[in-house]
Structure 1
Amino acid sequence: MFRFCFAAASLLPLLSAAQAPAVTPDSRLPGLLQQRAELTRRYAEASAQRHSLFGNKPSKKDLQEVVDALQGIVDKDQQIVDVLNETAQKATTTSVRLAATTTKLESTSRDDRNLTAQRLLELENETQNLRQREKQQLAKQRDLEAEVAEAKQGHFVRDALIAALAVACLGLLLVRRRRK
């Protein structure tokens, strides 16, 4: 009797904890708990029986039924503990797997952030280089435009000199023709 009380008292926190988390559809725990409840009912019925020849005392057969019922409860409790340990092991395995996945994701995230930061830095440098080249091209373009303006002015002066010489030549030709 003491063993039963001790076993029941030690299993109560486990049973209440086992009922708190979500039980998967393929879990054996609900069935085992139902079987244990049936065994507990059988124990209560067996311990209530009084078939002794000496009055209101349990007979040897009654006591054997009580012992058998208690043994069934203890065996069922062991099965429940085994299922809970199995569930705890699965939870631990899942937790370790999730921790590894989380670590991997954090590492990947960190690598992605570093790669993105590096790529942004490269793009900023490229943008600065392009701006610098654009400034150099604009300066070169202004220099070329200034050279073109100088060349145009030089052409204008040359063309004006050619025109003046042409007029002078014509004037000399005319003067020479008039003298003849």
Structure 2
Amino acid sequence: MKNLISILTIFILLITACKAQQPIAKISEGKIKVSGETFNVKKDNNKLTVIRNVTNKLSDVEQYAPHLPQEARVNYHMTVDKKLLTKICADAIPLSTLRKLPIGANGFLLLISKVNPLGAILEIKFVLESNSLLTLNELQEIEEKLKSAQFKIKFDKEIQHYIKDANYFPIDLYVSYADMLKAKEGN
């Protein structure tokens, strides 16, 4: 009986690991485990796929910034290190995959992020085309590195006083596949 349970457990783990390595185009909706994290995959009208870590909770929490003037736009008072962002994404994706990804108007990865007042990314929701060649393993690696201390968004000094007591800011980050390819090839 113990052998049967062990075999079933190994079989389930192998199936999960295989799904995480498949391109998004071949994955159906649902929850998939990757390196100890669980991701929710949702296909929208067969054009877009939205992927989020199930530990993300801020989507259900109203954003507040008690000292921020109503007309202020945080996006105008921040700096994103696009070169580092692009490098982190490119490092997670094999060169052979990057060469096959679309270049042009639809050739980008959208990261819908929740960022704290210190510029650290708290949560990421990935949005990409449903026929994407990227894998959940690659997206999990991108999420892990962007949430690390290695990457931060810098807010301008003139707005820091107004944002200090905020819980988070929604910030959309776009990374083009063409820029990732250039970074990977060293151009």
TM-score in terms of structure 2 length: 0.22
The answer to which structure has the higher strand fraction is 2
Q: Which has the larger radius of gyration?
A: 1
Q: Which has the higher contact order (CA 8 A, sep 6+)?
A: 2
TM-score in terms of structure 1 length: 0.22
The answer to which structure has the higher helix fraction is 1
